[in-house]
A and B are shown apart, each in its own frame.
Chain A
Amino acid sequence: MMKKTLSKAELIGLAVAGVLVFLVLPLLNALPESHPLHLTTFTLSLLGKYLCYAVLALSVDLLWGYTGLLSLGQCLFFSLGGYALGMYLMLKIGTRGQYHTNLPDFMVFLEFPKRFPTTGGLPPHWIPFQHFWFAAAAIIWVPAVVAAIFGFLAFRSRIKGVYFSILTQALTYAACLMFFRNDFTFGGNNGLTDFKEILGFDLNAASTRRGLFMATAALLIITYLVCRWLTSSRFGKIQRAIRDSENRVLFSGYATANFKLFVFVVAAIIASIGGALFVPQVGIINPSEMATDKSLEAVVWVAVGGRGTLIGPILGAIGVNWLKSYATHTVPEYWLFILGALFIVMTLFFPKGIVGIPSQVRALKARWNRQSVSVAAPAALSPEEKP
């Protein structure tokens, strides 16, 4: 049903999006501040944040929309990526922290030199994160390993449906509790923050922010293309078959557990890379980012945009987050009402999301037409209604 090559509309859409994010927005940001079309760096970073969330939404959609696995722990992987890069950024602060030592501030504050005297206070697993390449590799392999272990255990014992959702939620809940502890060596509830530079570039400089934004946009486009390729391949067919009737696929001789495990790991890596780009733009990563409700929010972006499509989650993530920024700023006390209502209304009335609204309207119209026809000629049954 889905073509392997990109359609004309998709190509045009990609081109427009590419021009917008690579040329227009950075240029607007580079304009002098007095210019009426100037885009502030703050807004640009905010947009960058939305794009990171869009990547996260794509990973949720790959699991939920295409494979039928509703993971309520996707934010765990997002945060793991964030922490991996955050550790590198933390070590690059150097002596510019509050205590003017080589150690990150929270380690001085929590008296790590006493705990890890041989390394001068730096926990041993932090040491390799001084190198960017190690942090970059960790962004990939740490979530992949976590997802592989959890997924292996879950899929091997055929945990599915709501059970899978609940267990992923428990997983992220447990991790969240863990990261909140000070002696877990990741900064406790303050998390990692106060970053100064990345790869030698000043993080507060507008040019660095532009670069990060463009990197995020590139990541989103690449993720889109990868997902597009994956879902339109033979593999994607099996994915959708698992979603629709896992037992049939199983009895046709496919090891569904392996397919699910693969998708789960891929989705974890995608989310993790999104999280890694999120951290330098937002400037902080803390355990509340992996709290259970964040993952559910990510699911609602997908639901709003339209699951089982690739453009839907992107629209949903950007739209809902824009709404959130707007609502928490102007009517903070109503935001939870709005979010809750979104959950309810989308699932009840628009199960296919925004993207699905046109087809829903078409279906309604067709039904209405049919009804008026059948009122006029009750004997004539339309082909679908024949037994």
Chain B
Amino acid sequence: MILRRLNNLRPPTRSTTVAALVWLLCYIFAIPLSAANHRAVLVQAITTNDVAVQADLINSLANVPDPIIEQALTAWRQGSVYLYEPEDQPKVPFLLEAGTDATGKSRGIDLGTGEFIKDAAGQPLLFTAADLTAADTSSKLRRVIKTTLDLLALSNLNPNVRRDAASKLGQEQNADYLPHFRERLANEKFPEVRKALTEAIAITELLDEKADVRLGAVRALDQQRSIPGLDFLARLETEAKTKPQAFSLDLLNAIHQARIHIERHVSTSNFIETAFHGFSLSAVLLIAALGLAITFGLMGIINMAHGEMIMIGAYSAYLTQNLFIKMFGQGTRGFDFYFLAALPFSFLTAGLVGILLERGIIRHLYKRPLESLLATWGVSLVLQQTMRTIFGAANVQVYSPSWLTGNINAQDVVFAYNRLFVIAFAIAIVVFTWLLLTKTSLGLQVRALMQNRQMAACMGVRTDRVNMATFAFGSGLAGMAGACLSQIGNIGPSLGQSHIVDCFMVVVLGGVGNLQGTVSAALGIGVTDQVLQPHLGAVLGKITVLAAIILFLQWRPAGLFATRGRGLEG
């Protein structure tokens, strides 16, 4: 019956507007909508000429969880809802399907029925976007659509979208939204969204006329430690200065208390955030520099191609990813596991290149450390250019597996999964390296060589082999570092260059040949950098860290944890 009435409704003239409104109000609050009904409302909204009626109709769609409404409204706002005007019949609003046929035409989807528009013979009609007239909108209408879309987002299936929508709508302090918020809150299960909704309600209620409601709202914000609420509370406080009669003493006290609590909360969470960023940067530095620290500590030569080992690891991850895309397709469950395969593959590739480098070049230069620095720099140039020849000079794209994208939000600090992973991975490889160095026979030999090469050789340690194994291990670690870095940054032929100076700084600062030095140096540099950055900017922060390292070496020339020995040449 309602359907028929809707269809009979002619586009209302000015005189019928009031009647239509009255009808609409009864309609909205009395009768629950069925799927067909709200589509009819949508069609009605698009084809009507009166802006006020259109706005009301659009508003009425605000709590309809139907994806087509959202899609249609979004399209309308962007001007891609078109009107089909068959003769002697009402206009039909429609969307164009995605994609075109060979002649650049596509079929139209009738918004009322959800089916393709057909001609008399029952064949789908074909349209070209350029020839069509879009359903027009005014700026007022677009605003209404925007609000409706936001309200629709409140019931979106994705909790993150719901949360963002709630925070955004709350900022508008529009009392009309309160019923929507409350309704949503009653059904909401996700704590984050609940928090955002409560916050939105409280922020909106700050402007309520009743004093006790406002007091409740302030207390609610206080309890929530609501950071977005801080601005509104501050605004209230300034308002209280101009017209003190509207604010009771209780309310003023509550606002003051709330502000103090929230500000304290903000500084705590800023602190946690800085620490987290510092740790994740330290983890990156540590992963990248650990291999270098080992090879340098053992052989006393600097491998300038270390950065390129990182780059090789990153490209290995890229290749593994491509292989998995070919095997499973992107975004599939199988694809998600590529990273687990990429880690060992990067380790092996970089380790292999490391062995070749050690056998081919570095072996001959053990007695000439300065020159090995030059030769390995040459190797790094060759490797960079090789990668440029194979993969092109542009950066390549590595997609993160789904379990590394996203973040947790705790105490208003965003913990990104990939950064958490990098930290965990850094801890894991440090523990692994420590076990290898202290609990295996290879580790024993490595340490013997570090302490006294000749004596170790006399005792029967095959120095040649230990050198090779250690160099391969160090390079492999660099390779894994590259795979790890592929998850948080760009991959290009000059990836290694951007890390090499930092790696050197970690090694020089940490002192040669001990893990705790490398770990503390990485932590020190990473955290200092992140603490300085907000005040000085990225570049000045970095320069300050470099200067600080040079000055620090005045005090401890051999690094943080120098290995004590009696030899003159340390």
Chain A proximity mask over B185-212: 1 for CB below 8 Å, otherwise 0: 0000000000000000000000000000
A300 to B539, CA, bound (A): 29
**Does A339 count as interface, using CB distance less than 8 angstroms?**
yes
Are A161 and B381 neighbours in the complex by a CB distance under 8 Å?
Answer: no
Task: Please choose the segment from A85-93, A170-178, A219-227 that sits at the chain B interface, where 4 or more of its residues have CB less than 8 A away.
Answer: A170-178
Across the interface, which residues of A come within 8 angstroms of B380, CB to CB? 340
Complex alpha-carbon distance, A296 and B553, angstroms: 24
A70 engages B365 (CB within 8 Å)? no
- Judged by a CB distance under 8 angstroms, whether A127 is at the interface is no
Partner of A166, one of B302, B372, B378, B540: B302
From B370, B378, B553, give the contact of A161 (CB < 8 A): B370
What 15 additional pairs, Cβ within 8 angstroms, besides A343-B377, A343-B381, A347-B378? A64-B370, A70-B373, A157-B554, A161-B369, A165-B370, A167-B508, A170-B549, A171-B550, A181-B540, A247-B568, A333-B389, A336-B381, A336-B384, A344-B382, A346-B374
A159 in contact (CB, < 8 A):
yes
Contacts of B364 in A (CB 8 A): 348
- Decide if A166 touches B547 in the complex (CB within 8 Å): no
Q: Does A17 contact B (CB under 8 A)?
A: no
Q: Is the CB of B557 within 8 A of A157?
A: yes
Q: Which of A162, A296, A299, A337 contacts B369 (CB 8 A)?
A: A162
With A and B bound together, what is the CA distance between A178 and B379 in angstroms? 28
Q: Contacts A153-B550, A340-B378 given: A333-B505 contact, CB under 8 Å?
A: no
**Taking CB as reference atom, which chain A residue is nearest B559?**
A163
Give every chain B residue within 8 A of A340 (Cβ-Cβ): 378-382, 385
27 of the cross-chain contacts (CB-CB < 8 Å) are: A157-B553, A157-B554, A157-B555, A162-B300, A162-B302, A167-B553, A170-B501, A170-B550, A171-B546, A174-B542, A174-B543, A177-B539, A181-B539, A333-B388, A336-B385, A336-B388, A337-B382, A337-B385, A340-B380, A340-B385, A343-B379, A343-B381, A347-B368, A347-B375, A347-B378, A348-B364, A348-B375
Q: Does A342 contact B (CB under 8 A)?
A: yes
B340 within 8 A of A: no
Q: Are A339 and B381 in contact (CB under 8 A)?
A: yes
- Mark out the residues of chain A between 265 and 300 whose CB falls within 8 Å of any chain B CB in the assembled complex: 292, 296, 299-300
Which residue numbers of A lie inside 8 Å of B, CB to CB? 64, 68, 70, 150, 153-154, 156-159, 161-163, 165-167, 169-171, 173-174, 177-178, 180-181, 247, 292, 296, 299-300, 303, 333-334, 336-337, 339-344, 346-348, 351
Cα–Cα distance between A6 and B38 once the two chains are bound (Å): 102
Assembled-state Cα–Cα distance A156/B214 (Å): 68
Q: Say yes or no: A162-B301 contact (C-beta < 8 A), given A292-B501, A300-B374.
A: yes
Chain A interface, DSSP helix/strand/loop, else mixed? helix
Is B50's CB within 8 Å of the partner chain A? no
Contact A339-B373, Cβ < 8 Å, known A174-B547, A177-B543: no
Whose C-beta in chain B lies nearest to the C-beta of A349? B364
Flag if B546 contacts A170 (CB, 8 Å): yes
Chain B residues within an 8 Å CB radius of A154: 550
Residue among A68, A162, A296, A342 with the highest chain B CB neighbour number at 10 A: A162
Judging by beta carbons under 8 Å apart, are A162 and B389 in contact? no
Which partner residue on chain B sits nearest A173 by CB separation?
B501
Q: Hey, which chain B residues are within 8 Å of A68, CB to CB?
A: 370
Interface residues of B in 19-72 (CB under 8 A from A): none
B365 and A166 within 8 A (CB): no
Cβ of B338 within 8 Å of any chain A Cβ, yes or no, is no
Contact status A153-B373, CB under 8 Å? no
| Chain A to chain B: the 8 pairs with minimum beta-carbon distance, closest first | A343-B378, A340-B381, A340-B382, A336-B385, A157-B557, A344-B378, A340-B378, A347-B375
Residues of B within 8 A of A (CB): 300-302, 361, 364-365, 368-375, 377-382, 384-385, 388-389, 501, 504-505, 508, 539-540, 542-543, 546-547, 549-551, 553-555, 557, 568-569
Partner of B378, one of A150, A292, A342: A342
Which chain A residue has the least Cβ–Cβ distance from B556?
Answer: A157
Check B546 against A174 for contact (C-beta < 8 Å).
yes
Contact A348 B501 (CB under 8 A): no
Closest to A162 in B: B302
Residues of chain B with a CB closer than 8 A to A344's CB: 361, 375, 378-379, 382
Q: Which residue of B lies closest to A167 (CB)?
A: B550
Task: Tell me whether A303 and B382 are in contact (CB under 8 A).
Answer: no
Among candidates B374, B382, B384, B504, residue contacting A347 with C-beta atoms closer than 8 Å = B374
Contacts of B569 in A (CB 8 A): 247
Q: Are B546 and A180 in contact (CB under 8 A)?
A: no
Which A residues lie within 8 Å of B385 (CB)? Answer: 333-334, 336-337, 340
Is the beta-carbon distance between B539 and A178 smaller than 8 angstroms? Answer: yes
- What chain B residues lie within 8 Å of A334 (beta carbons)? 385
Bound Cα distance A37, B406 (Å)? 69
Q: List residues of chain A with CB within 8 A of the CB of B553.
A: 157, 159, 167
In the assembled complex, the Cα of A323 lies from the Cα of B547 at a distance in Å of 37
Q: Which residues of B contact A169 (CB under 8 A)?
A: 501, 504
Give the docked Cα–Cα distance between A21 and B486 (Å): 53
Chain B residues with Cβ under 8 A from A178's Cβ?
Answer: 539, 543
Known interface pairs A170-B546, A336-B384. Does A303 touch B501 (Cβ–Cβ under 8 Å)?
A: no
Give A333 to B539 CA distance when docked, in angstroms.
Answer: 31
Q: Which residue of A lies closest to B538 (CB)?
A: A177
Give the one of B361, B369, B373, B540 with max A CB within 10 A.
Answer: B373
Closest to A339 in B: B381
Tell me the complex Cα distance, A181–B538, Å. 11
- When C-beta atoms are compared, the residue in chain A nearest to B382 turns out to be A340
CB distance from B249 to the nearest CB of A (A): 48
Task: Please state if B550 and A348 are interface contacts (CB–CB under 8 Å).
Answer: no
The complex places the Cα of A177 from the Cα of B371 at a distance, in Å, of 27
A243 to B422 alpha-carbon distance, docked (Å): 43
| Whole-angstrom CA separation of A174 from B372 in the bound complex | 24
Give A82 Cβ to nearest chain B Cβ, in Å: 20
Scoring A157, A181, A347, A348 by chain B CB atoms within 10 A of each residue's CB, the highest score goes to A347
Known: A159-B553, A165-B370. A336 touches B382 (CB 8 A): yes
How far is A64 from B371 in the complex, measured between Cα atoms in Å? 11
- Chain B residues, CB < 8 A from A162: 300-302, 369-370, 373
Assess whether A341 is in contact with B382, with CB atoms less than 8 Å apart: yes
Cβ–Cβ contact B370 & A153, under 8 A: no
Task: Tell whether, in the assembled complex, residue A163 and residue B508 are in contact, meaning their CB atoms are under 8 Å apart.
Answer: yes
- Report the Cα distance A170→B379, complex, angstroms: 20
Contacts of A174 in B (CB 8 A): 542-543, 546-547
Q: Is the CB of B554 within 8 A of A343?
A: no
CA–CA, A156 to B505, complex, Å?
19
How far apart are the CA atoms of A326 and B369 in the complex, in Å?
32
CB distance from B409 to the nearest CB of A (A): 34
- What residues of B have a CB within 8 angstroms of the CB of A163 in the complex? 508
A173-B501, A173-B546 given; A347·B539 CB < 8 A = no
Contact residues in B for A156 (Cβ distance below 8 Å): 554
Q: Kindly list chain B residues whose C-beta atoms are within 8 Å of the C-beta of A64.
A: 370
Report Cα–Cα, A340/B395, bound state, in Å: 22
Measured CA separation A339–B384 after assembly (Å): 12
B391 to chain A, nearest CB (A): 13
